[in-house]
């Protein structure tokens, strides 16, 4: 759901004066909304065949002058969307390390031939809409497309119409803080070479760079360099003062923020509504937030919520009558796909045709030039209602009972259920005072809070793992519970269907796993026929080079079995905000 701009601005200003700094489900969020962010993505190539891996390096910076964040707060996550002209193809949430990340998109074999667009942004950047988003065109050829018809676009602007026009190499002007050197420019097949980078920076400064060696014809000439993107950012903020922008989306400095809006039956914002959040789990967990003016709400989530099924609901149940929860989808963008100018030139079409055969060879021999790094371990902090339940009952340890009515009566003396059919009430006895608590205890199913116990009262011993009881008057923040009952089932997927009508459910992903370029090593050996071909188009990919002033980095690479001209590309940014883009050509014979 897209929130109207006028409404968003009103909500932001109202929240600003009502609650500084912002509080998102109990966590403090920075209130300085005047510092914009920018994000640049360097890909190994722009032309691909379905079945290949698209490799990327990502750099985040602050300010409209391209200054990298050497201190202060910055976004922890970036979001990447790969889309065609009519749908989203893939989406990733990327965990940033000091403003940098690298990884890849696997391009499924089923992708059709045509132009695609890669988008990159942070949650903070969503406050500026598409004005600061990173956008880049790539072309993907289906591996089984024998016709390979290349779509022709705007004929009035054709920067890719010839190899010569495409390779007016956009090198950084003199004075660049980095120098690119090659051990040679002419190589044989399966030979070793070196790329050397020298940093001409102050000793206490650092740069973040990416280097690739790929076929000369595998790039689209109209895509922006880092310097071009920075120039566009500056132009945008010359016309749009961040201080006057609406800011409904928070900077994710501590973790992922899930946001949404509550509306009434007429579609108007429902201020003051309380929203609960629980995760399907073997632990009893609960977060809650109150909708601000404009019906907006926010939850700050730590890695405990990664790769999980989340359930949002309004409490008490009377609040659900006529009200609706809308979750904002980070992968949804409200601006159209743009077709690139020009079309591919003949040598690029030839490269794609040969690439179709190369991908088939790689799959036949199970060749791969990369592997996945281990997911970094993260500290998780479940929002538990209690560290340990006062009591727990395991129905399998007893004679089988037909339903929860019998289980409560026979096994759980502090819990009493009355009524059957369409109506049932339950109550608990306080373990400390030994007297009935007057109100209805809160009820959880597989970690998720619900006020509808009826669908679960028919479950018997064969359906249940355990029942936890916490028979105390219990406070959770400013929520009061006259006792807590938690049942855990053997098959949550089957029994969770009863919850769907009372909840808005969503599934979170894991942050994307980083990839490591791991090509074959060709050292000098005897003249022996190789056991496997080396069909790589990517000879070198180093996505995250950190280099300080006065340092030199030497990177080895190996040529493959492919002949032709390859372009060495160095791209990145210094700590002072100086963009770098350099290219040199090598030839393999």
Quick one: three-class SS letters along 164-189?
HHHCCCCCCCCCCCEEEEECCCEECC
Q: Residue 148: which residues within 8 A CB-CB, separation 6 or more?
A: 113, 141, 349, 352, 353, 356
Distance CA 391, CA 485 (A): 10
Distance, CA of 344 to CA of 324 (rounded, Å):
48
Q: What is the three-class DSSP state of 92?
A: strand
CA–CA distances in Å: residue 352 to residues 74, 118, 310, 359:
39, 19, 43, 10
- Cα–Cα distance between 158 and 161 in angstroms, integer? 5
What's the CA gap between 259 and 102, in Å, rounded? 26
Structural domains in the chain, CATH included, are 32-242+333-375+514-588 (2.60.40.1930), 391-499 (2.170.130)
Q: Which residues contact 366 (CB under 8 A, 6 or more apart)?
A: none
pLDDT, position 476: 94
Q: What is the pLDDT of residue 153?
A: 60
What is the CA 266 to chain-centroid distance, rounded?
A: 33
* Long-range CB contact pairs, 23-26, < 8 A, 24+: 24/250, 24/257, 24/289, 24/298, 24/299, 24/300, 25/277, 25/287, 25/288, 25/289, 25/298, 25/299, 25/300, 26/287, 26/300, 26/477
Residue position matching structure tokens 């790329």? 195
Q: How many helices (H) and strands (E) does the chain have?
A: 6, 34
Work out whether strand 579-588 and strand 186-187 pair parallel, antiparallel, or are unpaired.
parallel
pLDDT at residue 35, rounded to an integer: 72
Residues of the chain with pLDDT under 50: 1-30, 69-71, 154-161, 165, 169
Name the pTM for this structure.
0.89
Give the Cβ contact number of residue 520 at 10 Å. Answer: 13
Report CA-CA distances (Å) from 44 to 58, 87, 93, 505, 541: 12, 23, 19, 37, 7
Report residue 269 as tokens. 């914002």
Distance of CA 146 to the CA centre of its chain: 35
> pLDDT digits over 526-557, tens only?
557 778 999 999 999 999 999 988 899 999 99
Q: How far apart are CA 57 and CA 39, in angstroms?
A: 11
Contact between 277 and 284 (Cβ < 8 Å): no
- Quote the tokens at residue 59: 């750099």
474 touches 483 (CB < 8 A): yes
Q: How many Cβ atoms from other residues are within 10 Å of residue 352's Cβ?
A: 22
């Amino acid at each position: 759901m897209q929130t109207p701009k006028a409404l968003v601005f009103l909500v932001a200003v109202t929240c600003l004066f009502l609650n500084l700094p912002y509080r998102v489900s109990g966590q403090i969020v920075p209130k300085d909304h005047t510092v914009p962010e920018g994000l640049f993505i360097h890909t190994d190539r722009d032309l691909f065949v379905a079945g290949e891996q698209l490799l990327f390096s990502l750099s985040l910076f602050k300010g409209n002058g391209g200054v990298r964040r050497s201190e202060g707060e910055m976004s922890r996550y970036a979001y990447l969307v790969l889309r065609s002209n009519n749908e989203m193809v893939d989406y990733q949430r990327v965990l940033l390390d000091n403003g940098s990340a690298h990884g890849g998109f696997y391009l499924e074999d089923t992708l059709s031939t045509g132009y695609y667009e890669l988008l990159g942004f942070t949650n903070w950047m969503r406050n500026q809409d598409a004005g600061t988003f990173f956008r880049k065109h790539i072309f993907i050829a289906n591996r089984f497309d024998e016709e390979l018809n290349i779509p022709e676009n705007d004929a009035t602007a054709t920067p890719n119409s010839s190899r010569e026009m495409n390779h007016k190499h956009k090198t950084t002007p003199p004075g660049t803080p980095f120098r690119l050197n090659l051990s040679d420019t002419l190589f044989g097949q399966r030979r070793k070479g070196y790329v050397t980078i020298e940093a001409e920076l102050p000793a206490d400064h650092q740069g973040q760079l990416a280097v690739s060696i790929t076929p000369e014809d595998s790039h689209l000439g109209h895509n922006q360099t880092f310097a071009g993107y920075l120039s566009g950012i500056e132009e945008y903020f010359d016309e749009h003062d961040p201080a006057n922008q609406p800011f409904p989306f928070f900077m994710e400095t501590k973790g992922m923020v899930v946001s949404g809006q509550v509306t009434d039956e007429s579609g108007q914002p429902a201020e003051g509504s309380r929203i609960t959040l629980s995760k399907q789990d073997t632990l009893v967990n609960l977060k809650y937030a109150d909708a601000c003016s404009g019906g907006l709400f926010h939850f700050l989530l730590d890695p405990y919520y990664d790769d999980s099924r989340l359930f949002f609901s309004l409490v008490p149940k009377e609040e659900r009558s006529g009200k609706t929860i809308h979750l904002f989808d980070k992968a949804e963008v409200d601006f159209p796909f743009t077709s690139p100018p020009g079309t591919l030139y003949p040598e690029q079409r030839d490269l794609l045709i040969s690439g179709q055969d190369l991908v088939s060879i790689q799959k036949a021999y199970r060749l791969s030039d990369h592997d996945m790094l281990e997911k970094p371990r993260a500290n998780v902090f479940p929002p538990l209602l209690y560290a340990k339940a006062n009591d727990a009952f395991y129905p399998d340890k007893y004679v089988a009972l037909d339903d929860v009515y019998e289980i409560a009566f026979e096994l759980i003396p502090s819990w009493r259920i009355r009524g059957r059919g369409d109506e049932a009430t339950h109550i608990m006895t306080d373990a400390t005072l030994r007297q009935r608590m007057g109100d209805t205890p809160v009820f959880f199913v597989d970690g998720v809070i619900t006020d509808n116990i009826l669908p679960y009262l028919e479950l018997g011993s064969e359906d249940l793992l355990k029942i936890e009881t916490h028979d105390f008057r219990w406070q959770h923040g400013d929520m009061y519970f006259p006792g807590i009952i938690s049942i855990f089932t053997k098959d949550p997927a089957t029994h969770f269907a009863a919850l769907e009508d009372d909840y808005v459910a969503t599934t979170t992903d894991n942050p994307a796993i980083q990839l490591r370029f791991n090509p074959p090593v060709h050292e000098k050996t005897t003249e022996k026929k190789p056991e496997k071909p080396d069909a790589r188009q990517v000879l070198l990919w180093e996505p995250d080079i950190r280099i300080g002033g006065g340092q030199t980095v030497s990177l080895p690479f190996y040529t493959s079995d492919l002949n032709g001209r390859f372009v060495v590309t160095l791209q990145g940014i210094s700590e002072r905000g100086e963009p770098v883009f350099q290219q040199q050509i090598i030839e393999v014979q």
